[in-house]
Amino acid sequence: MTATLDVFDRHESAVRSYIRSFPTVFTTAKGHLIHAEDGRQYIDFFAGAGALNYGHNDDGMKAALLDYIANDGITHALDMGTSAKARFLERFHEVILAPRGMEHRVLFPGPTGTNAVETALKLARKVTGREKIVSFTNAFHGMTLGSLAVTGNAFKRGGAGLPLDNTVFMPFADFIDGGFDSLDYLERMLAGGGSGMDMPAGVIVETVQGEGGINAASFGWLKRLNDLCARWDLPLIVDDVQAGCGRTGPFFSFEPAGIKPDIVCLSKSISGYGLPMALVLVRPDMDVFSPGEHNGTFRGNATAFVTATEALRFWTDDALSREVERKGAIIEEALTAMATKHPQLQPEVRGRGLMRGIALGVEGAADQVCAEAFANGVIMETSGPDSEVAKLLPPLTIPEDALREGLDIMARAVDTVAA
Ligand code: PMP
């Protein structure tokens, strides 16, 4: 136990959870490595739950930030016009939106992913004048009440007693066996025929459910969902908070499905440096909030705009996407080897790009694997409704040898748990 670890026990609310999974005091970090007070070093297969896709303390972003601060760049400006925001908007349009033929407006909803989701839900309701939102089983969209209402995880609601009657949950993608087709069902409900269903205000979906257990929807399913929304004039909201910013390969996770959602939520790695930042991309004709109708104190984090602008250097070509694909294949191979070696753990390999996981059907096994990996120098966490998935979310920039070293440590952890 490190010297200061008990400080958290003495003073902090019991809500803290990562201190329980990773019982140490972290001090510094660089790239894919995190250092602790006791001198130990960890390979990061967690990347701030997806907030550090470019690793810790990237040199270019650090230099841009230090320069901005040294010159007394404005750090707080609500959503006033700042040069930092102007530079970000121009560059984001040039590097990300324009090459993809996206004409979306950029709305800054507040500092975190859940702010983006709340904004998207509120916007879809205003656009349509309707209330219900279609969401999916095992979805995770955030911890504020609106986001929780569309989150398919009763535990996370913490008994809060939310107005859930405004959410319609459908089975996610192709994850229900037995030939049930949720989109076919939804379409029939919408078409009436005595279903009595209100026309929804929109549909919110993750392309790969991160917290829900690394469930990747097929591109075909996403395309069908997109087409269904278009047919029924339902705004399609893609929550790309975790799967976006290159996590699955392309900048937006939905690109290979050949779709352009009406509303897109981004956060986590959009600042590139782990600074709080979120944005919502809005189809121009859906940009309907009146000035003042949706505001907040921390809507424009100028320091995050500075690092976010610098982070866009990773997207001027497709080199990073190709790297994600290559490293994703390395992980898939390693996880498949673990699964083949230990069928008694009831393993299932999941994921896309560098958003990967192995579900272990034996109760508690995934948690044990993560604990064992941590004891041996790898930081990773579980996901899924029963914490049954050992999840790998390394920085996209992790060097291949470090990735392989971390996977070896994980494989030994699985061996230990299986023994
Ligand atoms: N949506 C998704 C898909 C997420 O994974 C998360 C965070 N895990 C959120 C929304 C909420 O983001 P935040 O924690 O920044 O509020």
- Ligand 1 centroid to Cα of residue 70, in Å, is 32
Q: Supply the ipTM of this predicted assembly.
A: 0.99
- Ligand 1 centroid to Cα of residue 314, in Å, is 23
Range in 151-165, 183-197, 313-327 the model is least confident about: 151-165
pLDDT digit string (tens) for 9-60?
888 888 888 888 999 999 999 999 999 999 999 999 999 999 999 999 999 9
- Ligand 1 centroid to Cα of residue 236, in Å, is 18
Q: Which residues pair with 236 in a beta bridge?
A: 203
What mean pLDDT is predicted for residues 391-407? 98
Cα–Cα distance measured from residue 169 to residue 29, given in angstroms and rounded to the nearest whole number: 40
Cα–Cα distance measured from residue 75 to residue 272, given in angstroms and rounded to the nearest whole number: 17
Nearest CA to ligand 1 atom 5: 242
Task: From the CA of 243, give the closest atom in ligand 1.
Answer: 3
- Of 52, 108, 140, best ligand 1 pocket probe by most atoms within 8 Å of the beta carbon: 140
Task: From the CA of 242, give the closest atom in ligand 1.
Answer: 5
In this prediction, residue 3 carries a pLDDT of 66
Mean pLDDT rounded to a whole number for the chain? 94
140 has pLDDT over 80: yes
232 has pLDDT over 60: yes
Judge whether 221 and 213 are in contact, CB under 8 Å: no
In this prediction, residue 157 carries a pLDDT of 75
In this prediction, residue 196 carries a pLDDT of 73
pLDDT digit string (tens) for 266-276?
999 999 999 99
- Ligand 1 centroid to Cα of residue 193, in Å, is 37
126 has pLDDT over 80: yes
- Ligand 1 centroid to Cα of residue 113, in Å, is 5
What mean pLDDT is predicted for residues 170-193? 79
223 has pLDDT over 60: yes
Q: Which run of H or E residues covers position 175?
A: none
- Ligand 1 centroid to Cα of residue 405, in Å, is 29
Nearest CA to ligand 1 atom 1: 141
193 has pLDDT over 80: no
The pLDDT-based confidence of 194 (bands split at 50, 70, 90) is low
What mean pLDDT is predicted for residues 208-236? 96
Angle (nearest 5°) at CA 126 between 308 and 51: 25
Judge whether 124 and 237 are in contact, CB under 8 Å: yes
Task: From the CA of 276, give the closest atom in ligand 1.
Answer: 15
- Which residues approach ligand 1 with their CB closer than 6 A? 49, 112-114, 117, 140-142, 206, 210-211, 239, 241-242, 267
- Ligand 1 centroid to Cα of residue 266, in Å, is 9
Name the percent of the chain lying above pLDDT 70.
95
In this prediction, residue 166 carries a pLDDT of 84
Better pLDDT: 285 or 155: 285
In this prediction, residue 179 carries a pLDDT of 67
Task: From the CA of 278, give the closest atom in ligand 1.
Answer: 15
- Ligand 1 centroid to Cα of residue 366, in Å, is 22
Judge whether 347 and 339 are in contact, CB under 8 Å: yes
- Ligand 1 centroid to Cα of residue 194, in Å, is 36
Residues in Cβ contact with 248 at an 8 Å cutoff, skipping those fewer than 6 apart: 207, 208, 216, 324, 352, 353, 354, 355
- The identity of residue 314, as a single letter, is F
Task: From the CA of 206, give the closest atom in ligand 1.
Answer: 3
Cα–Cα distance measured from residue 269 to residue 307, given in angstroms and rounded to the nearest whole number: 10
Q: Which residues pair with 379 in a beta bridge?
A: 44
Task: From the CA of 210, give the closest atom in ligand 1.
Answer: 5
The pLDDT-based confidence of 180 (bands split at 50, 70, 90) is confident
pLDDT digit string (tens) for 142-164?
999 899 999 988 788 776 666 55
Total number of residues shown for the chain: 419
Hey, is 315 helix, strand or coil? helix
pLDDT digit string (tens) for 87-105?
999 999 999 999 999 999 9
In this prediction, residue 191 carries a pLDDT of 85
Nearest CA to ligand 1 atom 12: 113
